[in-house]
């Protein structure tokens, strides 16, 4: 199918269009259309998406939208909503939008939410007591990937809504430094662990969970303590029971919920504990609002589809293979980490839905950091390096921590960067500013670096829900446009299998024969150095 994708008339027309647009600078595009902001910006609710600084014109946009129609994007939405197994390589439906469907959610999902609510109330009110009778003051979420990144990002993003007298920590890495560093500051009598793992087999999570259990048992000397200090979010109820977690403390979810889409499920328990259950429901409501927009808005108004089309355009027709995410919000500092998994694990693929190698680029490398910090590290490359990078700037109209004089400067920097990246500074402008001729090449900025700016009115559970769901549906749309299954992740398996074979080799319990020369050399060096 994808071989044919690249030979379809609309793909070919977009290729021609890409070559034509490449001859224009963003300065030209703005000069040609004084109303460019109005023509290339969209609003939904109180969100504003300005993509006028993208390298495209009205004809490009029409072609891109026609291409989306030709890929039957609305038909794929219907397939997802009907519960078809669109994750065909795992034989699973894709049901994360059901998790935030409110009153329309299936009974099992509403039941788990109700249980999560009672659990949160018990912890917050102090009704829940540790094994020694003390109140819980610290929650440690043990999980990795989708069982860590989304909740970790959301808890940080909503720190203005943090419940009093409760701290929420996250441990993910297999490196003992992560868990040891966290436990060092904690009292086992007032700590509760959530083991968050869809499969409950992930090496990092299970290793950390077992060490945490040992730490607790060393303190109490009584296995009964586990019931008061361990909870789990998982689909694997046999494994949670085998680990010793009381069934009443296990919060299940469906296996149709992919890890990177799971923060709305029981995996969101640390979020609900951090911000309170009413606020967690607001997070779900914000996502539901974006779902309804995505499902019903036409292509001309549809924010997630537009984001997907922009990435398709930049990646496949302008040759831009790098995508930067720059939230000008310290609270959103972990958004790039979450989106990295969401986008790269979903569409970082080269085999299409028909088992054929695609004949085009797929997901760009996605990375980023909060502004203004990024300006003082990697922005030099964006301004004067040799790489085209598609940039998403994200900012809040109103600050979540309104210290006098801060937010105005933050916003000014955000707007200044996207403008400087788009328009640059010509040699003549540099000369006109009185710069010595020898320095003119160094002080000039080529510009033409494309960006989109997303403005949120403020950062609340509701707008964060909208924001995350916006990118989730972008990812869904890109999968449709590229004819990929965005919901499996077989690419992570090979390394996991090899690691399990290498662990005994490193311990000296298995031979190095059969290893490639590099790995053998590294193993021998590590063994000789005390590994």
Stretch that binds ligand F6P, among 7-15, 138-146, 174-182, 368-376 (CB under 6 A): 138-146
Question: Which helix (DSSP H) or strand (DSSP E) does residue 390 occupy?
Answer: strand 390-396
Which range in 104-112, 113-121, 199-207, 296-304 contacts ligand F6P by CB under 6 A?
199-207
- Restricting to residues 471-510, name those near ligand F6P by CB under 6 A: 489, 492
CA atoms of 90 and 106, how far apart (whole Å): 22
Tell me if 150 sits within 8 A of 338, measured CB to CB: yes
198 binds ligand F6P (CB under 6 A): yes
Distance CA 312, CA 309 (A): 5
Residue 328 beta carbon to ligand F6P: minimum distance, rounded to whole angstroms: 28
**What whole-number distance in Å separates Cα of residue 290 and Cα of residue 303?**
9
**Which residues ranging from 210 to 249 are in contact with ligand F6P (CB under 6 A)?**
none
Q: Which of 95, 204, 343, 345 is catalytic?
A: 345
Of 50 and 345, which CB lies nearer to ligand F6P in the complex structure?
345
Residues 2, 147, 182, 282: which binds ligand F6P (CB under 6 A)? 147
The answer to whether residue 53 is catalytic is no
Known catalytic membership, residue 458: no
Enter the tokens of residue 224: 């009964």
Indicate the residue among 147 and 282 with the shorter CB distance to ligand F6P.
Answer: 147
Cis peptide before 60 (omega within 30 of 0): no
* Residue of 130, 146, 268, 479 that binds ligand F6P (CB under 6 A): 146
Check 376, 437, 493, 509 and give the catalytic one: 376
Sheet of strand 230-234: strand arrangement: 167-171, 138-142, 191-196, 230-234, 250-252
Residue closer to ligand F6P by CB (options 199, 519) is 199
Residues ≥6 apart with Cβ < 8 Å to 316: 14, 18, 360, 361
Tokens at 102, concatenated: 């409110």
- Which 3 state secondary structure label does DSSP give 101? coil
Cα gap 184→215, rounded to integer Å:
11
Q: Which residues pair with 87 in a beta bridge?
A: 92
Asked if 307 and 468 count as a contact pair (C-beta separation under 8 A), the reply is no
The residue whose two tokens read 């060490």 is 211
Binding of ligand F6P by 205 (CB under 6 A): yes
CA distance linking residue 33 with residue 463, whole number of Å: 32
Stretch that binds ligand F6P, among 60-68, 176-184, 192-200, 324-332 (CB under 6 A): 192-200
Reading the block at residue 144, the tokens are 């990795």
For ligand F6P, which is the closer residue by CB, 143 or 324? 143
Stretch that binds ligand F6P, among 49-57, 141-149, 160-168, 451-459 (CB under 6 A): 141-149
Distance CA 531, CA 527 (A): 5
**CA 362 from chain center: how many Å?**
17
Nearest-approach distance from CB 149 to ligand F6P, in angstroms: 8
The smaller minimum CB distance to ligand F6P, of residues 143 and 424, is found at: 143
> Which residues, 259 to 278, sit near ligand F6P by CB under 6 A?
259-260
Q: How many residues bind ligand F6P (CB under 6 A)?
A: 14
Could you tell me how many residues make up the chain?
A: 531
Q: Which lies closer to ligand F6P via its Cβ, residue 204 or residue 291?
A: 204
**DSSP-assigned letters across all residues of 494-525:** HHHHHHHHHHHHHTTSS--TTS-HHHHHHHHH
**Binding residue (CB under 6 A) for ligand F6P from 94, 144, 274, 318:** 144
Binding residues for ligand F6P restricted to 310-349, rule: CB under 6 A = 345
Binding piece for ligand F6P, criterion CB under 6 A, among 5-13, 196-204, 453-461, 500-508? 196-204
345 is catalytic: yes
- 39, 88, 406, 496: the active-site residue: 496
Q: How far is the CB of 183 from ligand F6P (least distance, A)?
A: 20
Q: Which residues bind ligand F6P (CB under 6 A)?
A: 144-147, 197-199, 202, 205, 259-260, 345, 489, 492
Active site residues: 345, 376, 496
């Amino acid at each position: 199918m994808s071989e044919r994708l690249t030979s379809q008339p609309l793909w070919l027309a977009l290729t021609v269009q890409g070559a034509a647009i490449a001859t224009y600078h963003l300065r030209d595009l703005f000069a040609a259309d004084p109303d460019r902001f109005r023509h290339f910006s969209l609003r939904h609710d109180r969100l504003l998406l300005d993509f006028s600084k993208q390298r495209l014109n009205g004809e490009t946009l029409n072609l891109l939208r026609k291409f989306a129609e030709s890929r039957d994007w609305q038909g794929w939405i219907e397939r997802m909503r009907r519960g078809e197994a669109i994750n065909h390589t795992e034989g699973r439906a894709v049901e994360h939008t059901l998790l935030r469907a409110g009153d329309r959610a299936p009974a099992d999902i509403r039941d788990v939410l109700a249980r999560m609510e009672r659990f949160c109330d018990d912890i917050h009110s102090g009704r829940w007591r540790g094994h020694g009778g003390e109140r819980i003051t610290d929650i440690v979420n043990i999980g990795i990937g989708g069982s860590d990144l989304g909740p970790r990002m959301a808890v940080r993003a909503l720190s203005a809504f943090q419940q009093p007298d409760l701290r929420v920590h996250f441990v993910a890495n297999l490196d003992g430094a992560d868990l040891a560093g966290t436990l060092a500051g904690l009292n086992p009598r007032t700590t509760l662990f959530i083991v968050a793992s869809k499969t409950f087999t992930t090496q990092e999570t299970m290793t950390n969970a077992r060490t945490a259990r040992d730490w607790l048992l060393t303190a109490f000397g009584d296995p009964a303590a586990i019931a008061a200090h361990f909870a789990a979010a998982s689909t694997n109820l046999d494994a949670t029971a085998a680990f010793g977690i009381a069934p009443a403390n296990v919060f299940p979810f469906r296996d149709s919920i992919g890890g990177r889409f799971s923060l709305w499920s029981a995996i969101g328990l640390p979020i609900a504990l951090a911000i309170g259950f009413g606020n967690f429901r607001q997070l779900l409501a914000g996502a539901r609002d974006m779902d309804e927009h995505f499902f019903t808005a036409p292509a001309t108004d549809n924010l997630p589809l537009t984001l997907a089309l922009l990435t398709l355009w930049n990646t496949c027709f302008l040759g831009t293979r790098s995508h930067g995410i720059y939230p000008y919000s310290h609270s959103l500092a972990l958004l790039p980490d979450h989106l990295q998994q969401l986008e790269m694990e979903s569409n970082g693929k080269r085999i299409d839905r028909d088992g054929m190698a695609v004949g085009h680029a797929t997901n760009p490398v996605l990375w980023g950091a909060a502004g203004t910090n990024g300006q003082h590290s990697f922005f030099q490359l964006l301004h004067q390096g040799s790489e085209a990078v598609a940039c998403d700037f994200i900012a809040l109209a109103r600050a979540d921590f309104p210290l006098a004089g801060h937010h105005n400067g933050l916003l000014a920097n955000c707007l200044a960067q996207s403008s400087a990246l788009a328009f640059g500074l010509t040699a003549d402008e540099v000369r006109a500013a009185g710069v010595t001729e020898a320095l003119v090449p160094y002080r000039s900025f080529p510009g033409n670096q494309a960006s989109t700016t997303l403005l949120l009115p403020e950062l609340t559970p509701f707008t964060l829900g909208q924001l995350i769901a916006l990118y989730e549906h972008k990812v869904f749309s890109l999968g449709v446009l590229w004819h990929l299954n965005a919901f499996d992740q077989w690419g992570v398996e090979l390394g996991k299998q090899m690691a399990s074979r290498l662990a005994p080799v490193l311990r000296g319990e298995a031979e190095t024969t059969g290893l490639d020369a590099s790995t053998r050399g590294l193993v021998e060096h590590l063994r000789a150095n005390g590994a």
